[in-house]
Structure 1
Amino acid sequence: MPINFYNSNIEFRLREIKVIKKWIEKVILLHGYQVENLSIIFCSEEEIVRINSEFLKHNYPTDIITFSYSQEKSIEAELYIALSVVKCNSKIFNQTFKNELERVIIHGVLHLLGYNDKTRAQRKVMREAEDKYLKLLHENVTGI
């Protein structure tokens, strides 16, 4: 189950990588999926704007963009996370950077598992799932 973290033109060191990887794996397995290859790429705001513009046709930053190449129950994907946007959002939502980053990571993973956030009802379901799996992470930091 390879889950790898990369930096793209920024310097960042994710703490507790093993715990985060196990958490992601557990959430994916709970949904009946396997990880083939999941790359989580930390990038700049400029890079996420470029990706948004090229692939989604909008010219503004988002905290995450998810590219899924998955087939059936096998996850193969790339998650691009703009750390400066996450940091800004952490202040807006009165969260620590760490907590906001964890939420963004699980948000991207949930998209890979079929969750969507286009409608109000979908956003509610997505938020409840995020809360559920963040609780799993924080309750079981050493036991995942």
Structure 2
Amino acid sequence: MPSINFFEEDVNYSLKNKQAIRKWITETILAEGYRLKELNYIFCSDEYLLSINQQYLDHNTYTDIITFDNSAQGKEITGDIFISVERIRENAVKFNVTEVQELHRVMIHGTLHLLGYKDKTPADKKKMTFKEDFYLATRNFIG
């Protein structure tokens, strides 16, 4: 049974519109020609995400998101997406958007990574941003 789950680590965070978000993410995955097996979003603190960044990626920097692709078969999505609630809040102010808008952007960004999109080169980043904007526009819930 496909599932999208939401967890908290080292923070107390209450995600709103969970069912609508599950539907939106699932529809995004299907629109890209993939199938959903299991996707976990883990909301956490800066320090928690920093420790993951150091331990698994050998990076000593704060970040808003880390995506782990655990898919065993092509075109089937299984993954864990860790999101720093503190970075989301800071970036929302920095980019002059609401916290919910920034959260949704980061959630779809991580999902797009699982769908094969990259963001290391300027061309890849442009394509990623285009896809983020496209799928953000398909949300049919408040936020």
Report TM bin, short chain: over 0.9
Superimposed CA distance per residue, residues 3-58 of structure 1 (whole angstroms, 9 cap, x where no aligned partner) = 00001121011000000000000000001111111110000000110011111111
Counterpart of 1:60, as a letter, is T
Residue 78 of structure 1 corresponds to: 80
Match of 1:20 in 2: 21
Aligned CA-pair RMSD: 1.0
Q: Which residue of 2 aligns with 1:51?
A: 52
Structure 2 residue runs of 5 or longer lacking an equivalent are none
1:122 counterpart (102, 121, 124) = 124
Deviation per CA, 1:52-111, whole angstroms, max 9, x where unpaired?
111111111110000001121111100000000111011110110000000000000000
Cα distance in 2 for partners of 1:86, 1:40 equals 14
**Amino acid paired to 1:114:** G
Instruction: Give the unaligned 5+ runs of structure 1.
Output: none
After TM superposition, give the deviation of residue 119 of structure 1 in Å.
Answer: 0.3
Amino acid at match of 2:74: E
After TM superposition, the score normalised by the length of structure 1 is 0.95
* Residue 113 (structure 1) aligns with: 115
- State the percentage of identical aligned residues: 44
Q: Distance in 2 between matches of 1:107 and 1:129?
A: 9
User: Aligned AA for 1:23?
Assistant: W
